Every structure is written in structure tokens, then in C-alpha cells.
A and B are shown apart, each in its own frame.
Chain A
Amino acid sequence: DAKTTQPNSMESNEEEPVHLPCNHSTISGTDYIHWYRQLPSQGPEYVIHGLTSNVNNRMASLAIAEDRKSSTLILHRATLRDAAVYYCILRDVWSTSGTYKYIFGTGTRLKVLA
């Protein structure tokens, strides 16, 4: 199973960019890289995903290394509401129904300082 490695915690100042790294050296050619975040006492919410090319959406940007062994989630201007645990997930094996299941790693706890 492909695994991900993330720093346990990071800090950022409000209004500044944040770069959250993720290593996934055993990624397979067809694994998508997904990022989710979990605010306190809530279920995870989708942030962004990609395969090979860098991706942008209204929440964040995803930069994927050329060899795909690492990726970086970029929050362009951190706000206090971005304080959460960020999970980098490689879409794992098919479940019996044909739907992919997620295996969560430890994630990175982001603290945003006012």
C-alpha cells in the first residue's frame, strides 16, 4: 500500500502563504494525490486533488513533483479559519464495489498565528 509522510505540525502567521509538504515515495502510476482537512470536531473536507500536473482551486494550490514522489499543498494566504489537520492521501485499492477507499495518515496540524 502506498503511504504518505507528513510533518506532525506546522505554524504560520495569518495572511502569509503556507506550504504543507507530503512525501509519497512508493506512489504508483495511477494513484491520485488527495488533500483533505479536518477542523476540530468535524468530519474531513475536500481541499484539492491531482495526478501529475499542478492544480489550483479557490481553496488552495497543489504542486506535484515531477517524479510524483512528493507534493505540496499551498495555502496562499492563511487565515485563522485554516487552522486544521491537513491530510495527504493516496487513493488506495479498490473496495469490492469498485469504489476507492482512503487510508488516512497522521496528517499535519496547522496552527495559524494572529
Chain B
Amino acid sequence: GAVVSQHPSWVICKSGTSVKIECRSLDFQATTMFWYRQFPKQSLMLMATSNEGSKATYEQGVEKDKFLINHASLTLSTLTVTSAHPEDSSFYICSASPTGERIQYFGAGTRLSVL
């Protein structure tokens, strides 16, 4: 199957700093990628839809100025958590799907810890 890669897999940062997470589709092009957040023992929550060449679409309640999404190419989307605070500590996961496929392929996730 198709492969989606996330980097880094784990990051620790100080409160007030910004963190960038990359999501790459390794063997296919993706005009759309999705970003999720998952707190411990909870389900995945869709944060936003990343669209290549246009603005991301954010789910209700997700601050777009806090979680900046850039989909610069057909194989790369980035999520930047700006001015991170301890409550932003979570597991962030991206997904993408080759054109015409019904299956979503997920990255391995990025665990963010904000001190």
C-alpha cells in the first residue's frame, strides 16, 4: 500500500516556542491531506483538511492561527503549532489518499510534549 511519512516522530519543546511537523506522501501525490490530534485514551479528532495550493479548511473549534497548515507541494503538508503551551501536548497524525482510492493512509504520528 501507499506510504505516508511523518517527521519528527517525537518532539519536546519549551512553552511559547513553535513546532513544525511534516507529513509526506512517499509514493503518491496527494492534493489533500488531513491532520488529526489524539489525546491519551481518546479517539482521533480531525483538525483540518490541507489542500495543495489553497488554504486549509479547519474543523469547528480549531484555531487556524494556532495551527498553521501549509501544503506546499503534492507530497508535503506541514503543521506548525505556534506558541505552543502544555495543553497542546498531544499525538498529531496526518493522513492522505491517492487520487481515486477510498483508503486513507496514515502517518505513524508525532508525539508533542510542551514543557
- Which residues in A have some Cβ–Cβ distance to B below 8 Å? 32, 34, 36, 38, 41-46, 49, 87, 91, 95-107
Contact = CB atoms under 8 A, between A and B. Distances in A.
Contacts of A107: 43
Given A46-B103, A102-B46, 17 more contacts: A36-B104, A41-B91, A41-B109, A43-B106, A43-B108, A44-B106, A49-B102, A95-B49, A95-B57, A96-B49, A97-B31, A99-B32, A99-B97, A100-B102, A101-B49, A102-B95, A102-B104
Interface string B93-113: 101010000111111110100
Interface of B: 1, 4, 6, 31-32, 34, 36, 43-46, 49, 51, 57, 91, 93, 95, 97, 102-109, 111
A106 B43 contact: yes
B34 A105 contact: no
A100 B21 CA distance: 23
A110 to B, nearest CB: 15
A40 to B, nearest CB: 11
A97 B111 contact: no
B109 A42 contact: yes
Contacts of B108: 42-43
B105 to A, nearest CB: 7
Contact of A43 (B43, B51, B93): B93
Closest 3 CB pairs of A and B: A43-B106, A99-B32, A104-B44
Contacts of A45: 106
Contacts of A102: 34, 46, 95, 104
Contacts of B105: 46
Given A102-B34, A105-B43, A97 B51 contact: yes
A91 B103 CA distance: 10
A103 to B, nearest CB: 6
A91 to B, nearest CB: 7
